[in-house]
A and B are shown apart, each in its own frame.
Chain A
Amino acid sequence: VTAALVGVDVGGTFTDVVAIDDGRIVTTKVPTNPAATDASVLEGARLVGAGDAEVFNLATTAGLNAVITRRMPKVAFLTTVGHRDILDKGRLWRPYEALTDPSWRRAFSDASRPLVPRYLRRGIHERLRSDGAVLNPLDEDQARAELEVLRDAGVQGIAVCLLHSWVNPIHEQRLRELVSEVLGDVVCSISSDVCPLAKEYPRASTATIDVVMKLIYGTYTDRLAEGLRAMGFEHEFNYADCSAMLMPSSYAMERPYRLVLGGPAAGAIAAAHFGTFIEENNLLGADIGGTSCDISVVLDGKPWMNDIVELEWDLIVNALSAEIVTLGAGGGSVVTVGKSGELHVGPESAGADPGPACYGRGGVQPTVTDAALLMGILTPGRFLGGRMPLDEDLSLRAFETLPTSLSLTDRIRFAWMIGLHNISEGLLDITIRRGIDPRDFSLLAFGAAGPMMLPMLLDLLPMKSVVVPPHPGQFSAAGLLSADRVFSESRTLYGILTPDLAPRISDLLDTMENDLIRRAGFMDRPARVVRTFDGRLAGQGWQTPFIPVPEGELDARSVRAMVTAFHDEYEQRNGNRFDTMPVEGVTYRVQVFVASPKIRFPTLASAVHPAGDVPKAGTTTIRHIYDLDVKAPCYERSILGAQDRLAGPAIVWEDASTTFVPRGRTATVGKHAELVIR
């Protein structure tokens, strides 16, 4: 086997592999070895013959898992004296369920599980003012003494975030020299280099995550490169960052905090890319696996971006990301009975182990998957291509044990519908926050459980259609073959946008752009440069991100264009326009894109089946959700041709997923094998 393009997405349970060989899409999955995920990557690579590939792209959650489980290297944090507890406090807020709960604790505070214990968070005698002027000079003797304490404590890495260092990095840079003087070649990240943006908590958190990622991904990258070389792979492999954009591994290692959340964003990129094939510019992507439903938004063909990633409650990183909203609603979401006798679905999940009751691995609580089995949507012998037998009796027993007087039918129907209502409200919330109307959007349903659950949402939320792409089970991994390589940089510069600011903005952007192009060294390759800024109305404390900046040297006219572009974007996002208010620039960003080969979804031959006469592979009975039991035909997805139409209720089988076409709905097969349910 050989492949030209290979994408590997390392998840918690499985490592998904998507490869393109001669225009053909090949997918496979191998179990993830949590102790050595790089071994799983190499095994997947071997299976698709990655040795001969042109491109090898990787998304991995190894870094995220280390942070979430706190199985981390020993790192220290240095900051301005008097402020060592920045990392303990975060943004000081708590989630809905803890509003009146005095036993709540921040998951990363010293009272629970800190990333950096307090004795390794130390204050350095120095202080800058907000304009960068030195209020208190760096006390080098005191700094050396602190570093000696850390050296003797055996730290492996040091993150540095001094107050106002984004304005003036002088003390951080000197401190980095002192670190190497006292501790030798220990890994060190300074915040003015990692992400020179205002607001100390996110910057400190980002610098800390950067050090951790350097330690985790440093040798990991070496081992992978070595393994791939041994396989015959001759190029530099790419990592997917938090926005699922690709970065050559050596460049990624300069600021590896950007890799902390590589996987989920791939689904958003896949959705955007697939949208160009099916000519849908506005998509909601919903990726439903065992534990959660990950939702992304594609607007005008681009994934909705955010400038912050949240790893767990309030643990944030200043990384550009394709924004993913996670709802606790997956195939393994557990059905329970609340205090007043009401049913709940999720957010607890039976996960992969023990999994839903019907897996027969010891799970006794009913789940959404058990409901789907009892409803006849899933067929015992057909789950995961028949590799995973399902036991209906176990599902039945699990529902029967619920402490409620409801009939069996009501238990199953209510559980199913409450799960769907949760997703529907979550989707509506996402559209409201972004000021978009779901009626202008199609919902792309993928992940193993997406195609079975999401089509019924059409009854709850007005949307154009629900679209099931080809290979829905591995669709997210296809996103790794859907993006360009990108090199990016950002800097903060506060200032009202007036013509006299043009030279300073121009300088800042040019410096970043030249630096990116020089460092990446790809002047001979096709490149696209995107310059944007985050701005706000004078008096606001928050920014509207990604406002376009005109090309070339900036003058008074281009500053006016920036102001107009700001008002346009602000109006689109927020619904109000304040033309008379001055606009303040805050953060300036440059991204340099280098085209990378992408997946192409092959065109499907038109149907040979006369209307209403698609050959059935079986029949099932849909129970519990409709007034009466109804018979539903089952189809093999592989035999469907373009323009085939399937009237609901109907079931479509394929290897890693099952699609449910509800009663009253019709699925039409599109020219790229997508099922469009309306």
Chain B
Amino acid sequence: MTRASIVTPDVTPEPLVQRAGWTPPPPHRLRDLSDQEFTDLYQCDRFTATVLANRFRYVVSHMSNQFRWHAFSAYIRDAADLCGTLSGPPSLGYPMAAVSETVPLFYGSIPDAIRIVVEEYGLDRLAPGDTLIVNDYYRVGTHFNDACCIRPVFHHGSVVGVVSIRAHLLDIGGSVFGGWSVTTRSTYQNGLRIPPMLLYSRGEPVESTFKLLFDNTRLAELMMPDLKTEYRALELADRLLQETITKYGLESYTGAIRYACDAADEAMREALGALPDGVYEGEETLVTDGFPDSPQYHIRVRVTKVGERAEFDLSDCSPATRGSINCSWLDTKTAVAMALKLLIDPRNPMTSGTLRSMDVVVSPGAICNPYPPQACQYYYVVVMAIVHAIFRALNPLLGPNAVSAGFMGDFAVMLDSASGATEEYPETASGLGGACGPWGATRHGDGDSGEQPVFMNLNITGGVEMSETMFSEAVVLRSEYVPDTGGPGNNRGGASTVHETMARTSSRHHPLFDKPVGGGGVYGGKAGALSAATRIEPSDANRNDCLFYPALDGPVTQITTSGGGGWGDPLERDPERVKVDVRDGYVSIEGAARDYGVVVVGDPARYPDRLAVDHKATRGLRSRLASRPKDEAGAAGTWSESQRQPDGLERQVVDGTCGSCGQDDLRRYRVLAADGWFEVTKCQTCLQSASRVPWNRLGWITLGEEKAL
């Protein structure tokens, strides 16, 4: 790496500046603290801290359940498309101490969202009983359908915490009913963009806000009861927190909030510390943005890991797409957090402490850090691509603990631009059955074939019958697993699902595959099958006989998800397990020989449980296959050094030496950290910061008011 020519005048390292309330991690592991040290640090004893940390999770759970079980719409009540959180007081920088047992994709952006919204609205202007609503993804992440309701919790006149619920509203205006079209080009087409506004003022509904919402949704009758119920749930959480503070005292309460975040931070640091130091690269590609002649879009991540610190440099990603497949920087942070949780810290509760030991670098105008009015309806497509790029970068370090990738919500829905109609609910989309696909294999076993993307967790209760009862024009002809699609491995990846939906009316919505790449194999396992989408006309002479239907009365959309990646060498899979896979239709006889070197004899179609393994032939075949050169499947993704260096991203050389490692390798640049945007001066050798100065609240983003005023 050559040094840039800009040299900054200040030679002495600046003092470490952090946002309010930031505390350095305790010098000892939490478990090694003596009772006295613990009490000094957290203003309560270990028992109280444990009880309260649990209490916070329960309060969030009570709040979310109150909302879910008393809500109106099926999206909330049945599917649980929501997320509740609890954050600490302004004096601590609003640390998020607990999240609900719902959609993981939602909570990564909440710590920033709460701080941004309360600061922008004005802490001083808030009163007990106030509840704010906001859905702008440039302030709070995700997409406009997900409205955040945010309620400050007052105790003796000051804000001691903030509770929030983010929940999916079925329609929030925009050019397409429900919002589902990748070819919407701007925030204006995505829907109503709500800045932080009072929804309830001192416990009373704010009529003007409700009217604004009702006049901009196609489903006011669904929105009204859900918002009322959501408000009640926030009220409940407020009351439960008041009781908790009254019982345990404010000092214990705030101490326990810090404790909950420190514990998550420590768990992540320990997990990071166990990885070998180094620089690792991974890449994922999105093949289309939905418009004709689409370029490919690249997600490239370079992970630098030193000791218990890490930096995720995504500055070499492609520029934002022309349509709705982009994600704001808040969700880029979510993606990094999600990837790390999945790979190295799967079971500890997530808090805002989780990302404390790392920085994220993104460039302005990129697919993972767009500007308004670029559109982000399909933000999760980019989130999952980032997750997979990080999987590719880090999996090679994990050895047997590597996690192969699986289904990631592979497709988006594209509105047929020729039809022009937008006021019908995308019923074909609802019938596409795209909620399900496979997971990759791990050392614990084969991957499931029917799962949601790992960052989702909706409860899909109704299935095909419910969908067809609501939208009778879309018939799901098939939704089942496909043989020989799961990535071969000692443990096999889950199989692809083929979804076939017949639309009786002419369908205006088309599926769009944005990622062709199947789940990569790990630890010697092979990649799963590639995904595919096609449209079959009733008149099509070549229509697939697998449709089972003698006659069609409408076009059929066929979507095949990617297959999950395999784990471990497929030639080491127990031949009996391969035989069971043949019996069960996950692997064909040909696939067993080709992918596993196992010779299975018998007739799986007619006598599935009378199959046998020819062990002698298997030994011979396996030794022949083992002597073949290894292919590259499962290797870490790499790319050649890019020349692109967007404005504002140069790492300016700063003279001086690192106070930690002594190297003269200090640079100044902007990073996205657990507490928001910072301009850091940071040692490139050991990742220790010499200074960290809070930067713009929204990074490079300019709001309308700044242009207007």
Interchain CB contact under 8 A, A118 and B104: no
| Chain B residues in 8 Å Cβ range of A435 | 70
Shortest A116–chain B CB gap in Å is 11
With contact pairs A92-B460, A118-B585, A125-B548 given, residues A343 and B50 touching in the complex (Cβ less than 8 Å): yes
A102 touches B58 (CB 8 A): no
Among A92, A100, A199, A542, residue most surrounded by chain B Cβ atoms (within 10 Å): A100
The 8 Å CB contact of B608, one of A149, A198, A413, is A149
Given contacts A111-B494, A117-B584, contact A341 B31 (CB under 8 A): yes
A201 to B466, CA, bound (A): 11
Q: Could you tell me the distance between the alpha carbons of A379 and B446 in the complex, rounded to whole angstroms?
A: 49
Q: Is B49 part of the binding interface, using a Cβ–Cβ cutoff of 8 Å?
A: yes
Separation of A183 and B662 alpha carbons in the complex (Å)? 81
Give residues 62-96 of B contacting A (CB, 8 Å). 62, 65-66, 69-70, 72-75, 77-78, 80
Q: How far is the CB of A102 from chain B (nearest CB, A)?
A: 5
Establish whether residues B70 and A541, one from each chain, have CB atoms under 8 Å apart when the complex forms.
no
Contact in complex: B442, A103 (CB < 8 Å): yes
B475 on interface, CB distance cutoff 8 Å: yes
Q: Report the separation of the CA atoms of residues A288 and B465 in the bound assembly, to the nearest whole angstrom.
A: 40
Residues of B within 8 A of A100 (CB): 104, 338, 341-342, 345-347, 350, 454
Q: Pick from A111, A129, A414, A578: contact of B47, CB below 8 A.
A: A414
In the complex, A117 Cα to B74 Cα: how many Å?
32
- Tell yes or no: B156 within 8 A of A by CB: no
Q: Is the CB of B54 within 8 A of A425?
A: yes
Q: Which of A82, A131, A154, A164 contacts B548 (CB 8 A)?
A: A82
Q: Which residues of A contact B609 (CB under 8 A)?
A: 119, 153-154
Inter-subunit contact B266/A97 (CB<8 Å): no
The yes or no answer to B550 lying at the interface (CB within 8 A) is yes
Residues of A within 8 A of B232 (CB): 575
Nearest CB on B from A641, distance (A): 38
The interface-forming segment of B2-10, B179-187, B359-367, B432-440 is B432-440
Contacts of A539 in B (CB 8 A): 72-73, 221-222
* B61 interface hit (Cβ, 8 Å): yes
Cα A542 to Cα B435 with chains together (Å): 19
CA distance A135 to B449 in the complex (A): 28
For residue A89, which residues in chain B have a CB less than 8 angstroms away from its CB? 436, 450
Q: Look across to chain A and name the residue whose beta carbon is closest to the beta carbon of B50.
A: A342
Interface residues of A in 157-199 (CB under 8 A from B): 163-164, 166, 198-199
B452 at the interface (CB under 8 A from A): yes
B452 touches A92 (CB 8 A): yes
How distant is the Cα of A149 from the Cα of B609 in the complex, in angstroms? 10
Which listed residue (A91, A102, A118, A163) contacts B459, Cβ 8 A? A91
In the complex, whether A573 has a CB less than 8 A from a CB of chain B is yes
Smallest CB separation, A83 vs chain B (Å): 6
Given contacts A85-B479, A109-B449, A574-B229, contact A199 B462 (CB under 8 A): yes
Is B16 interfacial (CB 8 A cutoff)? no
B343 to chain A, nearest CB (A): 8
In the complex formed, the residue of A with least CB distance to B611 is: A119
In the complex, what distance in Å separates the CA atom of A654 from the CA atom of B73? 51
Asked whether A421 is an interface residue with its Cβ less than 8 Å from the other chain, the reply is yes
Determine the chain A residues whose CB is within 8 A of the CB of B341 once the complex forms: 100
Which of the 9-residue segments A8-16, A426-434, A518-526, A623-631 touches chain B? A426-434
B463 adjacent to A105 (CB under 8 Å): no
A341 touching B33, Cβ below 8 Å? yes
Q: How large is the interface on B (under 10, 10 to 19, 20 to 34, 35 or more residues)?
A: 35 or more
Query: Are A85 and B66 touching (Cβ within 8 A)?
Result: no
Find out whether the CB atom of A342 lies under 8 angstroms from the CB atom of B49.
yes
> A406 at the A/B interface (Cβ < 8 Å)?
yes
Within 8 A of B (CB), among A233-265: none
Selected contact of A91 from candidates B49, B69, B454, B461, CB within 8 Å: B461
Given contacts A433-B65, A540-B73, contact A200 B449 (CB under 8 A): no
A200 to B465, CA, bound (A): 6
Check if B550 sits within 8 Å of A96, measured CB to CB.
no
Cβ contacts under 8 Å, B221 to chain A: 539, 581
Which of A106, A135, A200 is B463 in contact with, Cβ under 8 Å? A200
Assess the B460–A163 pair: CB atoms within 8 A: no
Q: Are A102 and B31 in contact (CB under 8 A)?
A: no
Residue B595 interfacial (CB < 8 Å): no
Tally of contact residues, A, Cβ under 8 A: 84
A277 on the interface (CB 8 Å rule)? Answer: no
Contacting pair B78 A541 (CB below 8 A): yes
Determine whether the beta carbon of B458 is less than 8 Å from that of A92. Answer: yes
CB contact between A92 and one of B54, B436, B475 (< 8 Å): that residue? B436
* Chain A residues within an 8 Å CB radius of B481: 85, 88, 118
Chain B residues whose CB sits within 8 angstroms of the CB of A154 once the complex forms? 609
List chain B residues, Cβ under 8 A from A428: 58, 62
Q: What separation, in Å, do the CA atoms of A414 and B263 have in the docked complex?
A: 19
For window 50-97 of A, CB contacts with B under 8 Å fall at: 81-86, 88-97
Q: Is A18 interfacial (CB-CB < 8 Å)?
A: no
B469 touching A198, Cβ below 8 Å: yes
Given A92-B458, A119-B608, A201-B463, decide whether A110 and B72 contact each other with a Cβ distance below 8 A: no
Closest residue on chain A to residue B38 by CB atoms? A341
Q: Mark B21-36, 1 if CB is under 8 A from A, else 0.
A: 0000000011111110
In the complex, B537 has a CB within 8 A of chain A? no
Among A81, A199, A413, point to the contact of B461 (Cβ < 8 A): A199
Could you give, for residues 331-370 of chain B, a 1 whenever the CB lies within 8 Å of some chain A CB and a 0 otherwise? 0000000100110011110100000000000000000000
- In A340-361, the 8 Å CB interface with B consists of 340-343
* Given A111-B445, A340-B263, A92 and B450 contact (CB-CB distance below 8 Å): yes
Binary A-proximity of B455-483 (CB < 8 A = 1, otherwise 0):
00111111111101110100101111100
Output the nearest chain A residue to B401 by Cβ-Cβ distance.
A103
Interface membership of B606, Cβ < 8 A: yes
| Selected contact of A103 from candidates B61, B101, B444, B472, CB within 8 Å | B444
Rounded to whole angstroms, the CA-CA distance of A274 and B602 in the bound complex is: 62
Q: Does A101 touch B at the CB level, under 8 Å?
A: yes
List, in ascending order, chain B residues with CB within 8 A of A576's CB.
Answer: 70, 72, 225, 228-229
State whether A84 touches B480 (Cβ < 8 A): yes
User: Contact between A82 and B469 (Cβ–Cβ < 8 Å)?
Assistant: no
A198's partner among B403, B465, B550 (CB-CB below 8 A) is: B465
List A contacts of B53 (CB < 8 A): 342
Complex: how many Å from CA A425 to CA B52? Answer: 12
Which listed residue, B29, B31, B104, B608, touches A153 by the CB 8 Å rule? Answer: B608
The yes or no answer to A463 lying at the interface (CB within 8 A) is no
Q: Which residues of B contact A541 (CB under 8 A)?
A: 73-75, 77-78, 461-462, 466, 470
- Given known contacts A82-B548, A83-B478, A421 and B469 CB-to-CB distance under 8 angstroms: no
Interface centre among B443, B478, B586 (most CB of A within 10 A): B478
For A83, A97, A109, A118, the residue with the greatest tally of chain B CB atoms inside 10 Å of its CB is A118
Select one of A90, A118, A417, A575 contacting B586, CB under 8 A: A118
Report the minimal beta-carbon distance from B72 to chain A, rounded to whole angstroms. 6
Judge whether A22 is part of the interface by a CB distance below 8 angstroms: no
B639 at the interface (CB under 8 A from A): no
A103-B442, A130-B469, A343-B50 given; A93·B480 CB < 8 A: no
Residues of B within 8 A of A417 (CB): 47, 51
Contacts of B62 in A (CB 8 A): 425, 428-429, 432
Q: What are 12 inter-chain pairs, A to B, with CB distance below 8 A?
A: A93-B80, A100-B338, A102-B454, A109-B448, A111-B448, A164-B465, A201-B461, A339-B266, A340-B263, A433-B65, A494-B469, A539-B222
Q: Tell me the B residues contacting A by CB distance below 8 Å.
A: 29-35, 46-47, 49-51, 53-55, 58, 61-62, 65-66, 69-70, 72-75, 77-78, 80, 101, 104, 221-222, 225, 228-229, 232, 236, 263, 266-267, 270, 338, 341-342, 345-348, 350, 403, 406, 435-436, 439-440, 442-452, 454, 457-466, 468-470, 472, 475, 477-481, 494, 497, 500, 548-550, 580, 583-586, 604-609
- Having A103-B403, A342-B49, A576-B225, one finds 16 other A-B pairs with CB under 8 Å, namely A83-B479, A92-B435, A100-B338, A100-B350, A103-B444, A105-B444, A131-B472, A200-B463, A201-B461, A339-B270, A341-B46, A425-B62, A433-B69, A435-B70, A540-B72, A576-B70
